[in-house]
Structure formats: C-alpha cells, structure tokens
Amino acid sequence: MTLNITLQALSDPTRRKILEILKKKDLAAGEIGKNFDITLPSLSHHLNVLKQADLVTCQRRGQEIIYSLNLSVFEEMAEKLVKFFKK
Amino acid sequence: MTLNITLQALSDPTRRKILEILKKKDLAAGEIGKNFDITLPSLSHHLNVLKQADLVTCQRRGQEIIYSLNLSVFEEMAEKLVKFFKK
DNA sequence: ATATAATTTAGATAGTTGTCTAAATATCTA
DNA sequence: TAGATATTTAGACAACTATCTAAATTATAT
C-alpha cells in the first residue's frame, strides 16, 4: 500500500478514531457507529476508505459485518512513517 | 502541535516531497519550486500549510526566504505516530 | 528614484471530500 | 414468503483544497 493512500486515510479524525476503537477489539459496523454522531452511510464511507487503504479488513457474520485492524499493514506503515521522519 | 494538523499537512504528496527536499538542505522558496511543476503562489500555499503545522520554519535572507525542517517537531511527530500504530 | 528579483497575498475556480436522505442488498426469523 | 435487522450504494450538496492569474510586498542594485 502506498504511503499516499495511507496518509490520506489517516488524515481524517473520524477514521483515526475508528482505528483506535478497532485496536481494542473487532466490531460490527453498527457497534463502531455507536461511538460517533454521524449516520451509518457516513460511517460506511469511512470504513470503505480504511478498507481501500488496507488498514482494516472485514468479514460478514450473519447479518453483521465485522471489521478488524489489518495488523500487518498497520506495522508496515509504522515502519514507513518512521523512515520518512528519520532525517 | 496536534496529530490532526500534522497529518493533514502530510496528506498531500507535494508537501511530503517538499519535506524530503528540505531533509537534504535548507533552501529558498524559489529553489524548492524548481522541483515542481506548479506556480510559485501554489508552492507558497503548501509552504504555508507546512509552517502552520510547524513542520518547517523560515527566515528571510536578503531577497530570499530560506525554509528549513523543524527537526524537533519532526521527531515529536515520529513518536506520536509510532504510538498511534502500537496496538 | 527606478528597475529588477524573490516571494506572498488576494480572489476566482474546478475538483475532492464528508455528510445527508432515500433506496437497495443481504441475512435471519417467524 | 413476509417482515425485521444490518449494512451498503446512489445521488445530492456544502465545505474544503489545490491550483491559477494578477497584484502587492520586500529587498537589492543601478
């Protein structure tokens, strides 16, 4: 995943908060939404941006769709950012 | 400086390239501009965003204005980001 | 003083983005 | 097969942003 797409994804506070929430545990879209004051379609948009950036994955479980952090990409990005910031 | 303002500043590829260029050495605005295909006013806008985010500093030297990385904020941000990515 | 050089500011514009409502899709249950 | 639940897709809209041209600012040199 490119640094560009990742940083675009991280540049929104709602999306960073979603990631913080998913650090604690995997959650269904609706459960994630309870932490925010936006509609579900808006949340869905943000989840999609995070998915495009490969920062989260999801899988259906019955009626729900469970979102999880994509840990390997998360770590990969940490490395790239540290490199970027190393003078 | 907040993570939000910093990440907003970093979310644009032109601005990241400016930072990469300033890693090598301090440069006047016009010199920085030679690396890009945008007008000087557009460049000036990006430099201003980086300044607002405290990622660069500048000082006048005669007719030129010399831009430099703000290393302490650069390092501070590296730390914050690593923390963010630590599960 | 006047002209030249380097940069920024002002104002306009097109494209992007976050948000919403309404409708569609997918799954479960009675 | 209906009806209920969970989520996404479609389409519209306001706010934001990157860009441009033209004008203003600041400093140097003749």
Strand D proximal to B39 Cβ, under 7 A: yes
pLDDT of A55: 97
Is B50's pLDDT higher than 90? Answer: yes
Is A6's pLDDT higher than 70? Answer: yes
Contact assessment for residue A21 and residue A43, using Cβ atoms and an 8 Å cutoff: no
Region B23-29: mean pLDDT is 97
**How far apart, in Å, are the Cα atoms of A87 and each of A21, A39, B24, B70?**
32, 42, 8, 11
**Confidence grade of residue B87 (pLDDT, cut at 50, 70, 90):** low
Q: Name the residue type at position A33.
A: G
Closest-CA distance, A50 to chain B, in angstroms, reads 14
Query: Measured in angstroms, what separates residue B62's CA from nucleotide C17's C1'?
Result: 41
Could you say which residues from 51 to 70 on chain A have a Cβ atom under 8 Å away from some Cβ of chain B?
Answer: 69
pLDDT of A38: 98
pLDDT, tens digit (0-9, with 9 covering 90-100), for A24-60: 999 999 999 999 999 999 999 999 999 999 999 999 9
Specify burial of residue A46 (Cβ count, 10 A radius: 0-12, 13-18, 19+). buried
Enumerate the residues of chain A whose CB falls inside 8 A of the CB of residue B14: none
Average pLDDT value over all residues in chain B: 94
Region B57-78: mean pLDDT is 94
DSSP symbols for A8-73: HHHTSHHHHHHHHHHHH--EEHHHHHTTSSS-HHHHHHHHHHHHHTTSEEEEEETTEEEEEE-HHH
pLDDT of B51: 98
Is A86's pLDDT higher than 80? Answer: no
pLDDT of A87: 60
pLDDT, tens digit (0-9, with 9 covering 90-100), for A7-34: 999 999 999 999 999 999 999 999 999 9
Strand D proximal to B59 Cβ, under 7 A: no
Nucleotides of strand C lying closer than 7 angstroms to a protein CB: 5-11, 17-23, 26-28
Q: Do A85 and B71 touch (CB under 8 A)?
A: no
